[in-house]
Amino acid sequence: MAIDILMPALSPTMTEGKLLRWLKAEGDKLFSGDVIAEIETDKATMEVEAVEEGLLGRILVEAGTEGVAVNTPIAILVEEGEAVPDMASGSAIPKDAVPKNIPALPEVPAAVTGTAASSQKTEPVKPGTALAASRIIASPLAKRIAKDAGIDLIMVKGSGPNGRIVKHDVEAAKAKGTAKPSAQPSAPAAISPEAITIPMSSMRKVIARRLTEAKTTIPHFYVAVDVQLDALLALRSQLNAASPAEGADAFKLSVNDMLIKAAAVTLRRIPDMNVSYAQDAIVHYPGVDISVAVSIPDGLITPIVRDADKKSLREISNEMKDLVSRARAGKLKPEEFQGGSFSISNMGMFGISEFSAIINPPQAGILAIASGEKRPVVKGDGLAIATVMTATISVDHRVVDGALAAQWMSVFRSVVESPISLVV
């Protein structure tokens, strides 16, 4: 019996993706677990495995196709000797049909677990609200019809699962005239003939959307402190010197590894910073999960060090090396970069003296780390030379006030300047 191979949901928030390439051809024998295709999501390139044994009878979605909705048939699997259908078993339904298994929108951020998540209650999202704008879920066909008709999807109520907007909803709104026309964008500036226009990748589109939402909907404020690094650098040298030359116990600590641990220790001491905003509620995260910004060829990704406050410096160092390597190869699993309770962005290796980072929603804070440099400092009644870095925290003012952010930065500075707590 022919079986449809569907576009998988590779993350809790994925509604569509790009079928990057096929690794199997029509007629190839498939076994359960075989990698048959690569899918580009908003965060990484993921592999799709066969779950049934049989022949790849027909490919329905060509490689390079963007905007393929979750649960859309992308190929047909048949048994040996079986006739290959011309179309998927669900092809009588339009391609933009409502997916059956789109994950429900979480009432609170997906990273929250345990009682902290179950205790939060969320009011339904109403069309026309600012929150609705960030949660629009619509099929590719519905989006195209709305764009052509000048319909603002914020004002359209979806009839599909979890409020997904489909073709019927847009056509009904168009007929009734209930959806206000979307604002027309201003005319683009003239582009020089010599300029090269490169289409955005799926990841870059999501980065653009999320950072715009973060900067325009989250009230940021910033607190900066200068932190002396000499004691931390001395401890790092001593620990690295004590590391075995090779073997499973070998390690080589970076300054970033130690700052991840320092931030985690600080969050454990000041737990009111380990929170996020969730519709008139404050979500307190049970674990200290540090998202670390990592530059990759097409943008950035934030792999997570889970329970960083409970891990040794060696564990954090080895885990970060593995995460960074697989992040740049596009091999991270969704649970390795989705979630997190606090972020760190370190540009010290570029010689940056100071910068501010944009908050990574739904988190309430991100710490920007600049480079350490020799500066004159006052010690006692005299001047001395110390290695100093400027650290700046960006904070969501909806859930964190200035006094708390200042307290957090003060504790962070004391942890870094007296780093013994990082190893005990």
Instruction: Give me the active site residues, please.
Output: 397
Q: Which residues contact 409 (CB under 8 A, 6 or more apart)?
A: 223, 224, 225, 391, 393
Q: Which residues contact 12 (CB under 8 A, 6 or more apart)?
A: 103, 106, 110, 334, 338
| 296-318 CB burial, b ≥16 within 10 A, e <16 | eebeebbbbbbebbebebbbbbb
Nearest to 38 by CA among 49, 27, 25: 49
Q: Are strands 299-301 and 373-379 parallel, antiparallel or unpaired?
A: unpaired
The phi and psi torsions of 407 (rounded to 5 degrees) equal -65, -40
Does the N-terminal peptide bond of residue 219 adopt cis geometry, omega within 30 degrees of 0? no
Beta pairing partners, 3: 77
Length of the chain: 424
Token pair in block for residue 347: 């540009």
Beta pairing partners, 395: 221, 365
**410: helix, strand or coil:** helix
Distance, CA of 290 to CA of 37 (rounded, Å): 31
Beta pairing partners, 284: 275
Q: Are 127 and 154 in contact (CB under 8 A)?
A: yes
Q: How many CA atoms lie within 13 A of 420 on its CB side?
A: 1
Q: Residue 361 CB: number of other CB atoms within 10 A? A: 17
The phi and psi torsions of 239 (rounded to 5 degrees) equal -70, -45
Token pair in block for residue 49: 């495995």
The phi and psi torsions of 9 (rounded to 5 degrees) equal -90, 105
